[in-house]
Structure 1
Amino acid sequence: MINFHKDHKSLVNTSLSVFAGLSILIAVVPAYQMQKTQPLPSMQPMTEAQVKGLDRYISEGCVACHTQQVRNIEMDKVWGGRPSVPSDYYYSKKRMDVWRQSPSILGSERTGPDLTNVGKRQAGREWHLLHLYNPRSVVKESVMPGYPWLFTEKSEKEVTDKDVVVPVPAKFLRNSTRKIVASKEVLDLVEYLVSLKQPDMEAVYDFIPALKKDKPAAAGGTPAGLPDGSVLYSNTCAACHQADGKGLPGAFPPLAGSPIVNDASPETLIRIILQGYDARAEYGVMAPFADMLSDEEIAAIATHERSSWGNKAPAVTPEEVKKVREYIQTLNQ
């Protein structure tokens, strides 16, 4: 047995080993897994101007006072329609260069408002230019500093057709005879700000209200007499979990190889389908299907998931679904 009280060398080596192991487990492994994140279907790649604007956003220290993260709590609903997921940051997580990791835009302080959805809340480029030149020109109570160095002053004769003149009120001008012209840097920054619109995930649920009316039935059904689980899966689940069951990294979990899907007992899978799921921050919120699907339909979907993409778990019966549904109803009474 090692005596750490006297064997200082062993103590140091053991401490270093534990530190290295924890660093790999807590930092390196999650960082590696995050590299597999994929963009949401509704997302568009950032333009060259928006990428330059992001660089300017970082260099001007905007991250010190503004967050870009919507948490799954009531007070954050004002900043976005849903909690943020890793896929939201797909196009802003690129490395700056070989030596520098992508800048953190999540932020940790809201001295100013969260900017996750600022492109929808405030889409006017002119407003952003005025706000950046002197925030008090558009928000009287603002404590945000101005960024006049991102603008130039020109006389009436010096202004050309290519210049973007900012209509700054006279009381905010140092010289009322001069015009304030936006630089290329601040125009890029504004392009980035107006592009900040929380990607829509509601589209993947558009089919739900009409699910029961529009679902096609399988010819002859399955051997168990259930509806066609593959068709129901395509109409109900594939938009998120994908047709191949691999999900979308950073947004929707995979079903292929899932221990929950392959569990000998289907209870957890049935409960998730009935109640929805919102327990893992790295994935989007799953809507509940208890009021949208019958016991037979849920059994057919679960059976399809448990027998596809290499999954080999026993079939699910409507009776099993009914039992779980009744149990949930009892808990909610």
Structure 2
Amino acid sequence: MEFFDNHKKLFTAAALFFVGLTVLVAIAPAIHNQNSNASLPGAAELSPDAARGKAIFVANGCVACHTQQVRNVDMDKIWGSRPSLAADYADIHRTDFWRNTATLMGTERTGPDLTDVGNRQPSKDWNLVHLFNPRIVVKESVMPAYSWLFTVKKSPDSSDVVVNVPPGYLKGKEGKVVATRDALYLVAYLRSLKQVKLPDGMPPPGFLYKKEAAKTEGKQPAVAGGQQLFTANCQSCHQANGEGLPGAFPPLKGSPVVLGDNLETYVGIIMNGYDARAEYGVMPPVGTNMDFTENEVAALINYERSSWGNNGKQVTPEEIKKIMDFVKLKPADK
């Protein structure tokens, strides 16, 4: 009973018990996990600009609408090439000594998952337009406009990053939309979000619970597959009606490239991107980023050539394969 009557012994014992239990239950397992788990080979640390962009992402509560985790269900194939692994988050560091950092995995998808958005949508021009006003590129978007990350200048400096915003979105202001440093930092972070490929010989986790096959409304299977590829990879810039956005992204409806006979240029643009016209944003190498096969490229071309009133010649995977082997490492024509 003397022990319970001696407050010094009592509180000392309680403190030691608390510290020991904390080490056993929290600290030791955390150290074990840290020493036992590592990021995947090839995973790159955030650049200084991307790290600043992550802080802006956190400060604006973007995680409330966007997750950063691909689950092992079939519907998540549209967000990544494989389900997320613990190793994808192994290189997340503390903000500083006193503060932990959010993993940003999120809990819901009011907006799309961003795990692999750096591959799905690597275009800096598109991301800047989207931040300025999401409705410019996605009419149904409920995302708020981050126009405060931009300024409007009548005479931009040579060092300014000018955003190609279509007419009618400046609310009476005159001049050019210029991205601030914070906007560029945020885009740098978004473009850094890429799934790292698994080491050779390591099978990726499978996707479960397959969705029902989409209705093709009488279209040929190749064209229907091309529509899905277009929706997932091209529609955000070129729009569902194929008319693009004036001053931002070119139309595919009636395009001489889409309807022409120069398949080498066409396939080269899909695989290697394109940057030849100052009035439009830079197109990223979508086909290379997404590892398109000849079947996927052929399906995409056939869809674009048979949609929006286009009536171009259909192609086969065999002829696309020959061209892909030639243009794969060759930059698209300027």
TM-score relative to the length of structure 2: 0.52
Shift of 1:205: 4.5
* 2:137 pairs with 1:138: yes
Between 1:16-25 and 1:170-179, the stretch displaced more is: 16-25
Counterpart-to-counterpart distance in 1, 2:165 and 2:25: 49
State how 1:231-310 maps to structure 2 within 5 Å: none
2:48 equivalent to 1:85: no
Q: Which residue identity does 1:162 align to in structure 2? A: S
Aligned residue for 2:168, secondary structure, equals: helix
| Correspondence for 2:169 among 168, 172, 177 | 172
Letter in 1 for 2:87: S
* Structure 1 position 154, deviation (Å): 1.1
Q: What residue ranges of structure 1 are gaps of 5+ in the alignment?
A: 1-15, 207-333
Q: Which residue number in structure 1 is paired with residue 41 of structure 2?
A: 41
Name the amino acid aligned to 1:127.
W
Cα offset for 1:170? Answer: 1.8
**2:93 pairs with 1:94:** yes
Mapped contact 1:130–1:167 kept (Cα < 8 A): yes
Q: How many residues align?
A: 201
Match of 2:121? 122
Q: Which residue in 2 is equivalent to 1:195?
A: 192
The whole-number CA distance in structure 2 between the counterparts of 1:83 and 1:18 is: 41
CA gap 1:40/1:173 in 2 versus in 1, 3 angstroms:
same
- The answer as to whether partners of 1:170 and 1:176 remain within 8 angstroms in 2 is no
TM-score (norm 1): 0.52
| Alpha-carbon spacing, 1:85–1:129, altered in 2? closer, same or farther (3 Å) | same
Q: Distance in 2 between matches of 1:88 and 1:101?
A: 18
Distance 1:26 1:68, change over 3 A: farther
Tell me the CA shift for residue 71 of structure 1. 1.7
Other-structure match for 1:242: none
Structure 2: how far apart are the matches of 1:62 and 1:149?
A: 15
Deviations 1:117-171 (A, max 9, x none): 111111111110011111101111000011111111111xx31110001111222
Q: How far is 1:180 from its partner?
A: 1.0
- Identity between Structure 1 and Structure 2 (%): 48
Q: Aligned residue for 2:64?
A: 64
Inter-partner Cα distance in structure 2 for 1:108 and 1:18: 36
Q: In structure 1, the residue corresponding to 2:130 is in which secondary structure? A: helix
Q: 1:70–1:79: 8 Å Cα contact kept in structure 2?
A: yes
Is 2:118–2:194's contact at 8 Å kept on the other side of the alignment? yes
Measured against aligned partners, the alpha-carbon deviations of 1:166-196 in whole angstroms (never above 9, x if no partner) come to 1112222123422111011111111111111
Give the structure 1 partner of residue 316 of structure 2. Answer: none
